[in-house]
Amino acid sequence: MNRILTIVLAIIVMGYSIYSWNDVSEQSMLILQTLIGIMLVSLGVQNFKNKENKSMGIA
């Protein structure tokens, strides 16, 4: 679930960055930074869960 969310967020970030290529407004940059931040947090949670599962011997 988390991996799918990360992939969807990556596609949204790429699409939005292409859409707002020439837009240098602060709101556009804030939206991009928020999306990238959410994507990084999601990757971190996914990595943490994988390490936790490996330490328990599940995966």
User: Cα(5)–Cα(43) distance, rounded to whole angstroms?
Assistant: 9
| Per-residue pLDDT at 59 | 55
For the purposes of burial, counting CB atoms within 10 Å of the CB of 31, is it exposed (0-12), middle (13-18) or buried (19 or more)? middle
Residue where the block lists tokens 């971190």:
44
| Per-residue pLDDT at 1 | 66
pTM to 2 decimal places = 0.65
| Per-residue pLDDT at 10 | 83
Domain boundaries of the chain, sorted by first residue = 1-54
Helix (H, G, I), strand (E, B) or coil at 48: helix
Residue where the block lists tokens 């599962």:
53
Tens-binned pLDDT, residue by residue, of the chain (59 aa): 667 877 888 888 888 888 877 777 888 888 888 888 888 888 888 888 888 877 777 65
